[in-house]
Structure 1
Amino acid sequence: MAWSEHLGGNKYKIVERDPSKASRPKRSITVEMPLEVANSRVTKKKEVWLGLQEEKWNELVINGKYQDKGKNRGRSKKKTFSDFVPTWMKVYAEPNMSGETIFNTKNIIESRLIPQFGDSWLDEITTLELAIWFAELKNLKNGKPLATNTKLNIYKAIKSIFDKAHEWGVIESNPMDGVERPSANKKEKKKMKDVKQNYTKAEVAKLLLAMYRLPVRWRLYFTGVMLGGFRRGEFLAVELKNLDYRQSMIYIEKQITIDKEGNKVESEVKTIESEGWVPMPKWYMDELKRYERLWRKEKMLCNRAWLAEEGKQYLFHGGTGVMYYPSTATNTWSKFLKKNKFPHVKLHGLRHTAATLLREHGADQRNIQKFLRHAKMETTDRYTHEAETVSRSLIAPLEAMDPRLPKFAP
């Protein structure tokens, strides 16, 4: 009769003895209990679910229908790491990961994993081998130790591959179960703590004025990101149809990102909560309205040189109506800060800045969560060092950030 062993979390090992073998060796499979069952306070639900899994495994083993991927089945039944990766990519990665994540993961696989494990039999890669390899990881260019975030990305990629290999019965045990997740040491934590995450109100005032040295489209782009708390790709994807001058709001429904080949592409927003209207200061919307007149004039002057896809009217573009590549905004921002000698804050840090400004002016976390369109409150909490649309009173303090007002003007 099959029995179960709790492996921790919602994972269980279902075990049965093989009657077809004289020594009756154990045959096991690892299953994951659905979270709604695992988190239930009704113990009976867990017992019933485990009982069904035990019955299924008992039947498979007794009838000899289980899949034995062990060494005794011969090389023809085994897969190398390189053999399995395309299957993982097609069956799991492509349906579940964003194009940008796939692109970055493919780079990790090609530069790190294939050279090290490509020709190894998947079921012969050991936990010790992986642990030693992780401990010795170095920068491929200069040989220096890798930053924890870089190691973490490598860890996530290889763990996902082995998790699915185990889940699909390709390997009997998962060697990644014993490999510790990379974490920052004390020195790295101090360094990360010292990294500037956002600007203060005084710094914002200076930034808004300095942005007049930029081309108008970039000035309005960065100003909008900072006041509206937009993600980089969200604001790049805004079209003229998304602007509501009467209500002083901007509608977010798409984002510009990259596909699995690294090409820029328009895609769905990050989460369901990300889509919606975002209130903006009236002075900023008035500037966008004037900018739109310049935008239409530019399009008319371009005539046949206008290369935008039919029906697309991206608010921010390089002069021919075509969407920007996402990193163009990041690089332009970095150059602006360096040229004007401002302390460096990542472009995404302007989203943190918006949250901090609102918090300093008395906005509660729930409203800030709505404003930033976060799915979880925990995310909002990290950013601030019940109507469907956020109340305009929330952004009232931002009206005072108009750089043309006397208290800011030079």
Structure 2
Amino acid sequence: MAWSEHLGGNKYKLVERDPSKASNPKRSITVEMPEEIVRSRSEKKKNAWLAIEEENWGELVRTGQYKNKGKNKTKSKSNKLTFADFVPVWVRGYADQNMGGKTLLNTMNIVDSRLIPEFGDTWMDEVTTLDLVEWFSTLKNLKNGNPLATNSKLNIYKALRSIFDKAFEWKVIPLNPMEGVDRPSASKKEKKAMKDVKKNYTKAEVAELLLALYNLPTHWRIYFTGAMLGGFRRGELLAVEWTDLDYDRCAIYIEKQITVDKDGQKVESEVKTVESEGWVPMPEWYMAELKRYERQWRKEKLLCKKWLGGDKQYIFHGGKGVMYYPSTATGTWAKFLERNKLPHVKLHGLRHTAGTLLRENGADQRTIQTFLRHTKLETTNRYTHESEVVSRVAIAPLEELNPKRMQFAP
């Protein structure tokens, strides 16, 4: 794979190894970045331009299409790239910088399993809108051959859209074939099926769940209880440390999450947006539960012969201070519901449950939006931290859900 070296100013040296040469295999060329890109001061544009130049030079060297002129080499004018050639350029120039690890991991799975087998050897400028429309109409489930679910089609659409949008923006192709390809939408049958899927629990069901959670180890009981009452995403709550708690204010500060990188390895990272950071008010009885658990947690840490968590103090960890994989919480939740014969709601549905609890206690839509840290009513992935006082008033009715007040609580 070719690489570049900055020579100063707007000059760069592109270098690639010539597979046909046993000795002195490096082949290089000096290129100048266009003034409009330099003046833009945009690192994204610079990286994208360099990625394309590196790929073009690498292709010329690997295929022997270069000419010697003294010490420098000049390349023949060719911007032709196959789909498979362009994907690494797109990854370096865009995806690595703009996609989260999990998103990039899922996208590359789609690229490797769906897109490369179909379009890999096709020149980028020869993929047509009609090709894409016809291909989308034939998509099947790779495992059983059944028609592909709309959500799966949508993920494929987003991957293709991103790749061809950047190819058009970077002038690799003269026309964007995705223009004219309709965004997949659910059929009436699918919409009815989705409507029938249980998305959250009612207040009465939450009361039952809170008692059933005593069948789990203490840390999982506290984790799932917090998810139901605070509307946290799974990775946000897994990343909370003891230093993120304010017992006096009865609140938890969210500023990071546990997720996976593009290689599928668990990592701690920032939350998705600046707006996602902030204090989340919680019921007083829940914070009292955390305080009691903290004493148990610290005692267990002292007894641990080989602590692997370093300076990290994750409240919820997989033993010896090591962070959980996000999927561990999902799997534990599903097994808990099945074992206790409880209605199935996805773990993320506990976030919706938090909003449902507020609604059942008379909170208006704007108050729920504030509590869940949404910047828009129609979204669930952006938070706001501007009205903690309002959120505290809204959450007050949840105090009565304290399991210790219930007749059969352990």
Q: Distance in 2 between matches of 1:342 and 1:87?
A: 48
Q: Secondary structure at the match of 1:277?
A: strand
Give the equivalent residue in structure 2 for 1:315.
315
Change in Cα spacing, 1:408 to 1:379, as seen in structure 2 (3 Å) is farther
Q: Secondary structure at the match of 2:267?
A: strand
Give the equivalent residue in structure 2 for 1:173.
175
Q: Distance in 2 between matches of 1:195 and 1:156?
A: 25
- The AA in structure 2 aligned to 1:229 is G
Q: Secondary structure at the match of 1:138?
A: coil
Cα pair 1:225 1:350 within 8 Å, conserved: yes
Cα pair 1:279 1:390 within 8 Å, conserved: no
Matches within 5 A, 1:129-168: 129-168=131-170
Q: Secondary structure at the match of 1:377?
A: coil
Matches within 5 A, 1:44-193: 76-193=78-195
Alignment of 1:306 onto 2:276: no
For residues 263-306 of structure 1, give each alpha carbon's deviation from its aligned partner in whole angstroms, at most 9, with x where no partner exists: 11111112222111111111111111111111001111113x21
State the superposition RMSD in angstroms.
2.0
Cα pair 2:236 2:254 within 8 Å, conserved: yes
Q: Distance in 2 between matches of 1:367 and 1:378?
A: 14
Alignment of 1:336 onto 2:336: yes
Give the equivalent residue in structure 1 for 2:347.
347
Q: Distance in 2 between matches of 1:290 and 1:351?
A: 25
Q: Distance in 2 between matches of 1:178 and 1:112?
A: 20
Q: Distance in 1 between matches of 2:133 and 2:389?
A: 49
Q: Distance in 1 between matches of 2:156 and 2:77?
A: 28
Q: Distance in 1 between matches of 2:281 and 2:340?
A: 29
Q: CA deviation at 1:375?
A: 2.2
Q: Distance in 2 between matches of 1:179 and 1:371?
A: 38
Q: Distance in 2 between matches of 1:185 and 1:198?
A: 23
Q: Distance in 1 between matches of 2:227 and 2:408?
A: 20
Cα pair 1:277 1:389 within 8 Å, conserved: no
Identity of aligned residues (%): 72
- The AA in structure 2 aligned to 1:307 is L
Q: CA deviation at 1:407?
A: 5.3
Matches within 5 A, 1:251-330: 251-303=253-305, 305-308=306-309, 310-330=310-330
Q: CA deviation at 1:337?
A: 0.5
* The one of 232, 235, 239 aligned to 1:233: 235
Q: CA deviation at 1:377?
A: 2.1
Compute the TM-score of the two structures, normalised by the length of structure 2: 0.78
Q: Distance in 2 between matches of 1:140 and 1:389?
A: 50
Q: Distance in 2 between matches of 1:237 and 1:376?
A: 25
Q: CA deviation at 1:388?
A: 5.1
Q: Distance in 2 between matches of 1:357 and 1:137?
A: 40
Change in Cα spacing, 1:406 to 1:218, as seen in structure 2 (3 Å) is closer
Cα pair 1:248 1:285 within 8 Å, conserved: yes
For residues 35-60 of structure 1, give each alpha carbon's deviation from its aligned partner in whole angstroms, at most 9, with x where no partner exists: xxxxxxxxxxxxxxxxxxxxxxxxxx
Q: Secondary structure at the match of 2:268?
A: strand
Q: Distance in 1 between matches of 2:153 and 2:248?
A: 49
Gaps of 5+ in 2: 1-75
- The AA in structure 2 aligned to 1:209 is L
Q: Which moved more, 1:126-135 or 1:358-367?
A: 358-367
Between the two proteins, the alignment pairs up a number of residues equal to: 333
Cα pair 2:157 2:184 within 8 Å, conserved: yes
Q: Distance in 2 between matches of 1:225 and 1:173?
A: 46
Cα pair 1:298 1:319 within 8 Å, conserved: no
Cα pair 2:279 2:388 within 8 Å, conserved: no
Q: Distance in 2 between matches of 1:105 and 1:393?
A: 41
Q: Distance in 1 between matches of 2:375 and 2:391?
A: 18
Give the equivalent residue in structure 1 for 2:11.
none
Q: Distance in 2 between matches of 1:369 and 1:270?
A: 18
Q: CA deviation at 1:409?
A: 4.1
Q: Secondary structure at the match of 1:85?
A: helix
Change in Cα spacing, 1:380 to 1:101, as seen in structure 2 (3 Å) is closer
Q: Secondary structure at the match of 1:278?
A: strand
Gaps of 5+ in 1: 1-73
Q: Distance in 2 between matches of 1:237 and 1:356?
A: 25
Cα pair 2:281 2:388 within 8 Å, conserved: no
Cα pair 1:82 1:114 within 8 Å, conserved: yes
Q: Distance in 2 between matches of 1:155 and 1:91?
A: 20
Q: Distance in 2 between matches of 1:211 and 1:300?
A: 27
Q: Secondary structure at the match of 1:404?
A: helix
Q: CA deviation at 1:132?
A: 1.1
Q: Distance in 1 between matches of 2:388 and 2:338?
A: 40
For residues 239-286 of structure 1, give each alpha carbon's deviation from its aligned partner in whole angstroms, at most 9, with x where no partner exists: 000111122111111111111111111111122221111111111111
Q: CA deviation at 1:170?
A: 0.8
Q: CA deviation at 1:389?
A: 5.2
- The AA in structure 2 aligned to 1:294 is Q
Q: CA deviation at 1:380?
A: 5.9
Give the equivalent residue in structure 1 for 2:400.
400
Q: CA deviation at 1:97?
A: 1.0
Q: CA deviation at 1:379?
A: 2.1
- The AA in structure 1 aligned to 2:287 is M
